[in-house]
């Protein structure tokens, strides 16, 4: 082999690439081992045994396929929660191993050296056996043939079924139960008597009887419905095999249509003097143009024959007129008569201001504007109702397409036209793209002339459905009509968007079946559409959800772009197309909020509400792992919140663009509410924009299904965000659909003002929610806000939930406004004046110690996230470090950047064993300026304590006091330098391997002489650790707020639980009680008496009664010199 590029080497194993193919090159210590495994693998061809790629014989090297997830032992070591690898997935892995052994045993081969480390996994969960250098041919007649491999399999199965290492369940954890048959199999495989162990064939049989071979990787119940995720498998749907000669004979044998026509001579001739030709164009075909006009003061549509037409074209028009004259249907304009204008023959029909459906579609993008999905379905139903009526009158349409459908732009009522004759008799090749009728013609019509039938009309309707959904000419990617005909003839179907409802695309595909006699009847089509005409017209997936993983080999991870409590986001590529990936925020295995449950809850919610106005879920990958990936479309303009921050000229952010964003977000919420789902966190940060003019709602981790919408859902501790919360939520009521409506009203104020809610309000963290909760305060609109907009926003912001409109009503109000605007509704992001603040970061960072960026590597492993940056694991000079990367919004905000610089200054200026060490900063091209800090491998104190809840004795009081002593020494050092930390909490206290505690995150630190009010709403501190005066704004001494927070940490070290964990109160109820002095954290009687007295003094309501940091240090030193 040649052209091998090595990337890393360990223990004689080199990960490399052979061209574009990732491989593993294995070097053998002896010629015998190299020869034995090479020869054995060359003989085998099994999907459950690693495949050889080639050999380098003179170096004793063998190249095999690269299995990205490594060996099974290492894979299991990364599993933190039982939910990350359910029994079904474990059984599937066991089945793959068993199948690999079965393939060996049926050939008379024993592996003989099988261990858990010789089972490899790919990122698509392909499982394969390796390490066959010791395999040998053994006579099958031996009594214990294969027993050694069965024993090894049993040991692997026991490890596979064991709980994750170090895992201790919390009381609210959902622990999957391993089925008894699988446990029994593991026990029987390790029996001492080799002859008592089952054969590999019987093992495979039992596994397959229990469906282990189906590749089910996840199954769980979320939002009252089950979610099943299966392994990725490559499937190809074969095209139906059709006998076109038989079809031709069957169509020719059909009863001929007998149209009910009115002879041309019996059709009334109108008085030209009463006909007013207004000249307003409506539509046009090859030989006829339609204009608006009036006859005897009645609105009419004039179908005027072109001046230079052939006799054949005149004959076709006559055929159409004779067919139309006897019709009486709301889907066909009534024929008034014939007339001549300027010596040109005209047909005059009743009609008002209309346009073709094609013209309406090309003026907007899919899912944008007033022609909403429900209206489209009504339109489709009416079109097929018209076709059904024509058929009942013995008339084929022949030319059904969006150009042969007229539509009233205000009411969306349709009229069929251009029917009763075949345009296929004319050549369309010279026509503009998409105007040739061949693109709507059925395959049998293209293959043979005279094959038009009711079935070909149904096919054309299927094509029309694709156009109605995509707004694109059928087969738009094929520019030549003849080439399009060739595609149709061989059974190619037009495309649909990725957000198209499945039932709709399936109906269209059924209509376009290659076999005409397999297509549904007009009555069937109408029934299927009407079944979806309720509500928005989008399917609500209330039944079991079943999906397959995406192909992980086509997935590429890019840079980290942000995260939250539940997940972290990354840019990436799938099939080379930009995407966003979300992974669970698994920086700890013992937190309350980062379990895989929230990942699957979000997946399930995306499936339940398939709305084009939600950020599209493309799929999932790498599910049975510690870091499954949720793959979403990339909204390249970012969040609405960040977008409006960059608008430099509000006048360029036109009314139509604002209306479009509001209308799109409203439809997303309406679709969720129709599915009885409440979002619980509607805000501008969770609405995303892209350059294709899409505005979509996202972040569904805390969304909840409401089994009874009238009762609402329990308020989640972390659901919602303060500035967008409805008054009733601040009072602790349940989340309801109307709570979302209020939050949406707050978003409307942001779209109007281009500012964050309450940006002009100087109120404390405590006062503001109290005023909102009592109805004294709500977000404001601009004084020049249009009345129609303020009416909608104020209705949404009504204090009483019952007075707020439903989102369905809000959508209809926005739709009516768009109809009213007409052609003035032309949203456009490209003309918005955007200005990203230019900050001289290099100049601002001149005083900070720099490190060489070549010595720094950044991983994708997120350790934590703060208000201004995210902490990621990395290395500096090959030593593990924590790298703090600024959020992109921080780089655009001078105020936030100054906080980052203040943190840099403190961490580089203060050298203390009680403060996390800072090595300096560097400017990475991909990540911007980053801060390199000491890596504390035990994580933060809060999550460490979470893991000790059930083991009080695991943290002796001596260790607890040492931690508290370290913390107060750090606080004392800051206070001596006249600096208040202002965010002391267990999440900002980090532990190393020796459980030494150090303070980190100084983003909120400030000189004590500065009483800062301008950012009190930016979540200074964290509610459960905040002193009462921070809620009221009555701050006299900021150092004493640190002492109070220290007292809260003392309570955590005592109870090992979060503050107020025993109180069944909402965050806002806790705020209110703490602010009034009615509540503070409790210290148990298990704590030493002096410790309890100190904690209570630190938690004094009166700041003046709290001790100083230095006095507390002295008290600790005195106590720690003696006994605890």
- Cβ-in-10-Å burial (0-12, 13-18, 19+) of 691 comes to exposed
Q: How many helices (H) and strands (E) does the chain have?
A: 33, 40
∠ CA 161-164-168, nearest 5°, is 120
Alpha-carbon distance 947 to 588, whole Å? 10
What is the total residue count of the chain?
1124
Q: Which of 740, 893, 940, 983 is catalytic?
A: 983
Residue 345: strand, helix, or coil: strand
| Residue 983 annotated to the active site | yes
Q: Do residues 704 and 729 touch, judged by C-beta distance below 8 A?
A: no
Alpha-carbon distance 503 to 507, whole Å? 6
Alpha-carbon distance 383 to 946, whole Å? 62
Closest CA to 608 of 674, 532, 680: 674
| Residues 6 or more apart whose Cβ sits within 8 Å of residue 1069 | 732
Q: Do residues 453 and 396 touch, judged by C-beta distance below 8 A?
A: yes
Query: In angstroms, how far is CA 754 from the centroid of its own chain?
Result: 26
Beta 687-689 vs 677-678: how paired, if at all?
Answer: unpaired
Provide the Cα torsion 500, 504, 507, 512; round to 10°.
-40
Axis-axis angle for helices 180-189, 87-105 (nearest 10): 40
Q: Which helix (H) or strand (E) holds 295?
A: strand 288-295
Alpha-carbon distance 746 to 763, whole Å? 18
Q: Which helix (H) or strand (E) holds 320?
A: helix 311-325
- Cβ-in-10-Å burial (0-12, 13-18, 19+) of 130 comes to buried
493-516 as b/e: b if 16+ CB within 10 A: bbbbeebbbeebbebbebbbbbbb
366-393 as b/e: b if 16+ CB within 10 A: bbbbbbbbbebbbbbbbbbbbbbbbbeb
To the question of whether residue 884 is assigned a binding role by annotation, the answer is yes
Residue 714 DSSP label: P
List for the chain the helix, strand, coil content (%; round to 5).
Answer: 40, 20, 40
Beta strands in 109-211 (DSSP E): 109-110, 119-121, 127-129, 136-137
Axis-axis angle for helices 373-392, 522-530 (nearest 10): 160
Alpha helix (H) residue ranges in 754-832: 767-773, 787-796, 807-821
Residue 243 DSSP label: -
Residue 291, number of CB atoms within 10 A of its CB = 19
* 992 half-sphere exposure, CB direction, 13 A CA radius: 18
Residue 254, number of CB atoms within 10 A of its CB = 11
641-662 as b/e: b if 16+ CB within 10 A: bbbbbbeeeeeebbebbbbbbb
Provide the Cα torsion 210, 214, 219, 223; round to 10°.
-120
- Whose tokens are 């205000």? That residue is 410
Active site members:
983
Residues making up the binding site for ATP:
884
């Amino acid at each position: 082999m040649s052209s091998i590029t090595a990337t890393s080497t360990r223990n004689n194993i080199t990960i490399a690439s052979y061209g574009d193919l990732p491989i593993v090159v294995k070097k053998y210590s002896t010629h015998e081992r190299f020869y034995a495994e090479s020869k054995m693998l060359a003989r085998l061809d099994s999907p459950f045994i690693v495949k050889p790629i080639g050999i380098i014989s003179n170096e004793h090297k063998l190249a095999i396929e690269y299995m990205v997830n490594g060996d099974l032992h290492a894979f299991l070591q990364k599993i933190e929660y039982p939910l990350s690898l359910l029994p079904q997935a474990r059984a599937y892995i066991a089945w793959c191993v068993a199948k690999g052994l079965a393939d060996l045993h049926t050939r008379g081969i024993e592996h003989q050296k099988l261990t858990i480390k010789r089972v490899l996994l790919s990122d698509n969960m392909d499982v394969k056996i390796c390490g066959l250098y010791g395999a040998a041919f053994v006579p099958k007649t031996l009594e214990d043939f294969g027993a050694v491999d069965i024993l090894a399999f049993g040991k692997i199965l026991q490890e596979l079924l064991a709980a994750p290492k170090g895992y201790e369940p919390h009381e609210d954890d959902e622990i999957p139960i391993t089925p008894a048959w699988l446990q029994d199999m593991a026990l029987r495989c390790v029996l001492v008597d080799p002859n008592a162990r089952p054969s590999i064939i019987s093992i495979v049989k039992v596994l397959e009887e229990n469906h282990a071979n189906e590749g089910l990787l996840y199954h769980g119940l979320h939002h009252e419905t089950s979610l099943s995720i299966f392994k990725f498998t490559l499937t190809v749907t074969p095209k139906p095999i059709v006998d076109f000669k038989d079809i031709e004979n069957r169509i020719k044998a059909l009863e001929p249509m007998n149209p009910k026509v009115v002879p041309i001579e019996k059709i009334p001739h109108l008085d030209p003097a009463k006909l007013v030709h207004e000249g307003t164009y409506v539509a046009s075909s090859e030989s006829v143009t339609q204009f608006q006009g009036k006859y005897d003061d009645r609105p009419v549509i004039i179908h005027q024959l072109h001046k230079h037409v052939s006799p054949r074209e005149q004959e076709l028009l006559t055929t159409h007129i004779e067919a139309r004259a006897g019709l009486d249907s709301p889907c066909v304009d009534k024929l008034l008569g014939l007339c001549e204008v300027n010596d040109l023959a005209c047909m005059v029909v009743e009609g008002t201001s209309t346009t073709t459906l094609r013209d309406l579609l090309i003026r907007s993008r899919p899912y944008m504007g007033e022609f909403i999905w429900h209206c489209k379905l009504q339109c489709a139903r009416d079109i097929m109702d018209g076709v059904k009526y024509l058929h009942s009158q013995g008339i084929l349409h022949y030319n059904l397409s969006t150009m042969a459908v007229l539509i009233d732009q205000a009411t969306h009522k349709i009229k069929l036209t251009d029917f009763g004759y075949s345009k296929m008799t004319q050549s369309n090749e010279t026509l503009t793209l998409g105007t040739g009728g061949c693109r709507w013609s059925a395959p049998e019509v293209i293959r043979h002339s005279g094959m038009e039938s009711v079935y070909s009309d149904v096919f054309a309707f299927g094509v029309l459905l694709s156009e109605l959904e995509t707004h694109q000419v059928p087969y738009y990617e094929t520019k030549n009509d003849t080439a399009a005909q060739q595609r149709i003839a061989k059974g190619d179907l037009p495309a649909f968007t990725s957000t198209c409802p499945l039932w709709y695309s399936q109906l269209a595909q059924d209509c376009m079946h290659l076999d005409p006699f397999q297509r549904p009847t007009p009555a069937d089509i109408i029934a299927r559409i009407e079944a979806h005409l309720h509500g928005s017209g989008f399917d609500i997936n209330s039944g079991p959800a079943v999906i397959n993983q995406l192909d992980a080999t086509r997935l590429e991870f890019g840079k980290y772009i942000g995260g939250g409590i539940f997940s972290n986001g990354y840019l990436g590529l799938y099939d080379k197309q930009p995407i966003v990936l979300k992974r669970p925020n698994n920086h700890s295995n013992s937190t309350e909020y980062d379990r895989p449950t929230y990942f699957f809850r979000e997946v399930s919610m995306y499936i339940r509400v398939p709305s084009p106005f939600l950020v599209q879920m493309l799929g999932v990958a790498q599910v049975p792992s510690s870091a499954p990936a949720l793959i979403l479309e990339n909204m390249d303009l970012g969040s609405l919140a960040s977008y409006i921050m960059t608008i430099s000229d509000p006048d360029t952010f036109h009314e139509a663009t604002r209306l479009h964003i509001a209308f799109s977000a409203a439809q997303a919420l309406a679709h969720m509410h129709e599915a009885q789902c409440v979002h619980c966190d509607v805000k501008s940060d969770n609405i995303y924009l892209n350059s294709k003019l899409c505005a979509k709602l996202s972040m569904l981790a805390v969304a909840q299904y409401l089994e009874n919408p009238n009762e609402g859902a329990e308020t989640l501790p972390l659901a919602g965000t303060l500035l967008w919360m409805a008054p009733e939520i601040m009072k602790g009521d349940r989340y309801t659909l109307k709570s979302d409506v209020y939050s949406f009203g707050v978003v409307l104020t942001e779209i109007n003002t281009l500012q964050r809610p309450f940006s002009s309000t100087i109120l404390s963290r405590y006062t503001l929610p109290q005023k909102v909760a009592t109805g004294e305060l709500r977000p404001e609109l601009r004084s020049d806000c249009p009345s129609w907009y303020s009416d909608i926003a104020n209705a949404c912001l009504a204090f009483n939930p019952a007075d707020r409109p439903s989102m369905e009503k809000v959508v209809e109000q926005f739709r009516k406004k768009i109809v009213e605007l007409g052609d003035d509704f032309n949203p456009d992001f490209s003309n918005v004046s955007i200005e990203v603040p230019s900050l001289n970061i290099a100049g601002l960072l001149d005083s900070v110690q720099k490190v060489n960026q070549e010595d720094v590597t950044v991983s994708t492993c997120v350790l934590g996230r703060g208000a201004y940056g995210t902490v990621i694991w990395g290395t500096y000079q090959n030593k593990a470090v924590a790298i703090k990367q600024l959020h992109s919004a921080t780089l655009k905000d001078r105020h936030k950047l100054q906080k980052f610089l203040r943190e840099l200054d403190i961490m580089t200026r203060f050298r203390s064993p009680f403060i996390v060490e800072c090595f300096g900063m560097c400017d990475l091209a991909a990540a911007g300026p980053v801060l390199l800090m000491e890596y504390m491998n035990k994580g933060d104190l809060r999550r460490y304590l979470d893991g000790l809840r059930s083991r009080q004795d695991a943290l002796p009081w001596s260790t607890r006091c040492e931690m508290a002593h370290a913390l107060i020494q750090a606080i004392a050092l800051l206070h001596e330098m006249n600096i208040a930390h202002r965010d002391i909490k267990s999440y900002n206290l980090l532990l190393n391997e020796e459980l030494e505690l150090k303070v980190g995150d100084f983003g909120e630190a400030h000189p004590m002489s500065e009483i800062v009010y301008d950012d009190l709403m930016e979540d200074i501190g964290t509610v459960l650790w905040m002193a009462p005066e921070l809620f009221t704004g009555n701050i006299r001494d900021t150092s004493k707020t640190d002492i109070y927070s220290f007292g809260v940490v003392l309570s955590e070290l005592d109870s090992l639980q979060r503050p107020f964990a025993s109180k069944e109160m909402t965050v806002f109820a806790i705020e209110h009680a703490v602010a009034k002095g009615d509540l503070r954290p409790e210290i148990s009687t298990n704590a030493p008496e002096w410790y309890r007295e100190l904690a209570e003094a630190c938690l004094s309501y009166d700041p003046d009664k709290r001790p100083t940091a230095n006095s507390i240090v002295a008290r600790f030193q005195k106590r720690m010199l003696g006994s605890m």
